[in-house]
Structure 1
Amino acid sequence: MSHRTDVRRYRGLSGFAVVFFLWLYLPIAVVIFYSFNENRLVSVWTGFSLKWYAAALDNQNLMNAVRTSLEIAAIATVFATTIALMAALVLVRGKGVRFRRVSETIVNLPLVLPEIVLSVAVLILFSQIGFANGFAKLAIAHTTFCTPFAFLPIRARLQGMEMDFEEASADLYANKWTTFRRVTLPLIAPGVFAGAMLAFVISMDDFITSNMLNTGGATTLPVYIFGLIKQGTTPELNAISTLIILVSLAVAALALFIQGRGGSMTDT
């Protein structure tokens, strides 16, 4: 290995990396640690206890917020991934597509616009047309800003895939739908799954849009947690945060596992 590319030879880099990861993960570790605090005061440790996890799981309002977030995230993920997949197929595999760059910019526009602008625009639109269903408003809005997050990994997977297998399928007299179902989709499945997981996490994490479109019976988990913070931080909030961290790690591990298997299968 060349001395220029061996990062271990740069003085102070290891210490900087340690400081960086401490700065990044130490607050998370503190939240997890104090979620087991028996005392109601977060900063005063009096003993180990799991009662705040039991209290969080017994909190009906919290469970309703979790259910609402999961339902909205699932709906947004399905529609956003489907739209992103169709857009990627047209823009990457389509022939004779006019204004390709403009179309890609339009698809990725929610990434460029500040979320508050998009939220206000959606709120005004729903007010003008008299659309009052809070759950449906959240599902539509989440689908809108989740679509570009699902689009990017799917497009990258399609761009990195050669057309040899699709051309071979056409040579064997398979129609376009059969080629897509039996050849293209299995090869880009890791990208589709990565886009879906990214859209799901973004939807679950959203606060600004969910808070602006929040109505009775459609309170998402981030909005509910924000309401708890205004009342004061308790170990129950730490327990909720710890559970969210564990679920996020499980989803990320599953996504990496499936992507790794997909990549190894493609190589073989």
Structure 2
Amino acid sequence: MAITRELIRIENPEGEPGFLGAGHIARPLIYDNYIQSDPFILLMDDVLDKKDTKPVGGPHPHAGFETVTLVLDGELGADDHKLKSGDFQLMTAGSGVVHTEIIDKPGNMRILQLWANLPREHRQAMPRLQDLPLAHVPVVNDKATQIKLYSGSLAGVTSPIQNYVPLIIADVTVAPGASSVQKIPASYNTFLYILQGGVQVGDHKTWLYKDQVGWLNIVDEHGESELKITAGEEGVRFVLYAGKPLHEKIVSHGPFIADSSEDIVSLYNQYRQGKMKHISTVPEEQHYKW
């Protein structure tokens, strides 16, 4: 008998003024309980309505984890590093890297940016960048359900993105009143973030609505489980995140994730001494353009 996943926690994150100044609203979806969210460290829903040409953002370091960016609307970056609506990027900060995000023109933008943990044995991995444009994203159209798969395997398709930690990320749209059953590993920590509409989840048919985050129960078993969903009268669009927990302790400080406080101090020293290279300088073989 298949294991059905159920909602066990529903959260209503509030937006707050972001660090990019006027027009920036940041909604923290994950931010303060890694034991619960493992392997997900942080997830922000950033909305920017920029009215001027004053540059915001700038260079900043990362180390010990991966940043995972899904552009929902607008554009981010420039030149070879520009991401547009529907594009996806995974940056492995690993041993340490400097990253620059500067926005200097009017426009609207919305991105979901996740910090995903690295296993202890890969925390010092060589930095790499993986770009997956919308045109190359695997898409499944099954009756009344559309799935854009950015990472992992789901619904019979597999993303080209390479993962140190097994990670499923999918943008899912279900037509009004339609039902869908998706198979995901039973042991993966899984949550849904509703972008539009509402959905009933599981055999208990628990409702989840726009802007809510719904966490599923974890089953400590190998094999697959079923995510049963039925869209409300307006249909539903949500982003599914599912990842294999690492069950490893971490130390977090500012832009760095490490195994100990001593490692954090070392990372800050490396950054101040200019030993962390910019992500734009990674060797071509470390920049995957799928």
Q: TM-score, normalised by structure 2?
A: 0.22
Q: TM-score, normalised by structure 1?
A: 0.23
Higher helix share: 1
Q: Which of structures 1 and 2 has the larger relative contact order (alpha carbons within 8 angstroms, sep 6+)?
A: 1
Higher strand share: 2
- Is the radius of gyration larger for structure 1 or structure 2? 1
